[in-house]
Chain A
């Protein structure tokens, strides 16, 4: 069945007609052209489609768009302010925590949720939190460093546009 829904995405309301079976991933990517949201496994196993739902990381491939109404949805596009990168993104760049970068948007959003929840995570906490995001190029060591750098950047400049 088709129905009209309003989704709050990156602080903007988007009203569109979707099929009940459409996933949030399909709506974000195919309809709204938010290309940072990427499908890899399509079955909730890789984290490359991670978006934030009320600040918590979820796999957009497993979530129906119609079930996402009334929540704040954040994609990577909503993280910087359009001009400046978010400190987490800066940290990924300076630690070169990416190779092909297919996994990166998912990682950056998971790191955002991690640092919001645990501002000073230990290595073990980082590993635990990020274990649902796969990186096949294996920048894991660099990603770990990037998380620490991001944490430092954020604690140095707590007021940052998001």
Chain B
């Protein structure tokens, strides 16, 4: 699900070493993170050379949760987050920067 990529999933490296390489530390979306309702819409753009217009779709590129969440955040608080996952820290940092402040950098953020 694109939700994990958008909100949670991040491989954190320190000194070239992966430091969250287990499911205890690498956060995956659970059933509780699933939105109460959502509607998916298929935008059909037939591919000229594919059988019946079909084309293989890379999930990451084809799904649109990330832009939807980024748009919603921008709409709500006026900051644009351009890298995934969109974490509360990143939003806070962007808000602080918008006000001309800088938050201290933590190596894990």
**B22 and A131 within 8 A (CB):** no
B23 is contacted by which of A128, A134, A138 (Cβ under 8 Å)?
A134
Residues of A within 8 A of B32 (CB): 127-128, 131
Residues of A within 8 A of B22 (CB): 41, 43, 45
Residues of A within 8 A of B11 (CB): none
Bound Cα distance A131, B27 (Å): 13
Residues of A within 8 A of B4 (CB): 136, 138
Count contacts between A and B, CB distance < 8 Å: 46
**B30 and A134 within 8 A (CB):** yes
A41 closest partner in B (C-beta): B23
The verdict on A40 contacting chain B, using a C-beta distance below 8 Å, is: yes
The verdict on A88 contacting chain B, using a C-beta distance below 8 Å, is: no
Counting contact residues on chain A (CB < 8 A from B), the size range is: 20 to 34
Bound Cα distance A117, B28 (Å): 27
Given A138-B1, A140-B1, CB of A45 within 8 Å of CB of B24 = yes
**B31 and A40 within 8 A (CB):** no
A45 closest partner in B (C-beta): B23
Q: How does the 8 Å CB contact mask read for A123-146 relative to B, with 1 for contact and 0 for none?
A: 100111011111111101101100
Known: A134-B28, A138-B4. 9 other contacts (CB 8 A): A43-B23, A45-B24, A127-B32, A138-B1, A140-B29, A140-B30, A141-B34, A143-B31, A144-B31
Interface residues of A (CB under 8 A from B): 40-41, 43, 45-46, 123, 126-128, 130-138, 140-141, 143-144
| 10 chain-A/chain-B pairs, Cβ below 8 angstroms | A127-B32, A127-B34, A128-B32, A130-B31, A131-B32, A132-B30, A134-B30, A138-B1, A140-B29, A140-B31
